[in-house]
């Protein structure tokens, strides 16, 4: 199971990539593997103000719908519209084309409170 070293993680299985003063967010390979084939994605609105832990997106598989949470407080500045017609990108490339949204954090320091790759590996089951 891939857990890229350069990303931060939440215990609800989102990954966060720091890109300048913005954070790109998706769900981890482990999360997508638990959901199986994704069939639908509900994205947040660009411009939405969110708090850390808010339900901001829904990823839906053949099996179930699951919430995706904002990893930090801030404003949604971009969403991955391509997922609307091709949600399978999350299954195929969870850390790349399968990104969900970009958030401008209210406090750039908040990202430091998230898990690093080693800590995240500790909370997912061994293969």
Partner 1 sequence: MDIKETQLCAWHQHHGATMAEFGGYRMPLWYKSGPIKEHRAVVTAAGLFDTSHMAQILVEGPNAEELVQRSLTKDLGTCIARQHPLEPGRATYGFLLNDSGHVIDDAIVMMEETERYLLVVNAGMGATVTKHLLHLGEDLDVTVSDLTDRLSKLDLQGPASGKILQKILQPTSKLKAPFPYFSFAGHYDHLQRGVKSTRGFSVMVSRTGYTGEFGFELFVRPQDFASLWQQILDAGEEFGLLPCGLGARDSLRTGAMLPLSHQDIGDWPCVNHPWSFALPWKGGKFTKSFVGDQALLAAQPTEPHTLAFLGENGRKVEAGAEVILSGEPIGTVLTCATDMAIDLVDGEVVSLASPNAPASFAPRGLSCGFIRVNHALSVGESLILKDKRREIPVRVVTDIRPHRTARMAWPL
Binding site for partner 1 (CB under 8 A): 36-37, 39-40, 42, 55, 58, 60, 62-65, 67, 85, 88, 91
State in angstroms the smallest separation of the CB of 61 from partner 1: 8
The answer to whether the CB of 105 falls within 8 A of the CB of 23 is yes
The answer to whether the CB of 119 falls within 8 A of the CB of 1 is no
State in angstroms the smallest separation of the CB of 40 from partner 1: 4
State in angstroms the smallest separation of the CB of 62 from partner 1: 4
Q: Which is nearer to partner 1, 88 or 93 (by Cβ)?
A: 88
Q: Which is nearer to partner 1, 23 or 83 (by Cβ)?
A: 83
Which residues lie below 8 Å from residue 107, measured CB to CB, with a gap of 6+?
72, 73
DSSP string, 21-65: TEEEEEE-HHHHHHH-SEEEEEPPPTT-EE-TT-EEEEEEESS-E
Q: Which is nearer to partner 1, 63 or 81 (by Cβ)?
A: 63
């Amino acid at each position: 199971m891939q857990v890229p070293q350069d990303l931060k993680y939440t215990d609800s299985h989102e990954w966060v990539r720091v890109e300048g003063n913005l954070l790109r967010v998706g769900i981890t390979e482990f999360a997508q593997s638990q959901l199986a084939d994704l069939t639908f994605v509900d994205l947040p609105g660009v411009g939405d103000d969110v708090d850390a832990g808010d339900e901001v997106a829904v990823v839906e598989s053949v099996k179930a719908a699951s919430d995706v949470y904002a990893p930090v407080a801030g404003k949604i500045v971009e969403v991955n519209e391509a997922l609307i017609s091709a949600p399978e990108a999350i299954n195929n490339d969870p850390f790349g084309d399968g990104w969900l949204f970009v958030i401008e954090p209210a406090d750039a320091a908040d990202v430091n409170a998230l898990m690093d790759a080693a800590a995240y590996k500790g909370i997912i089951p061994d293969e």
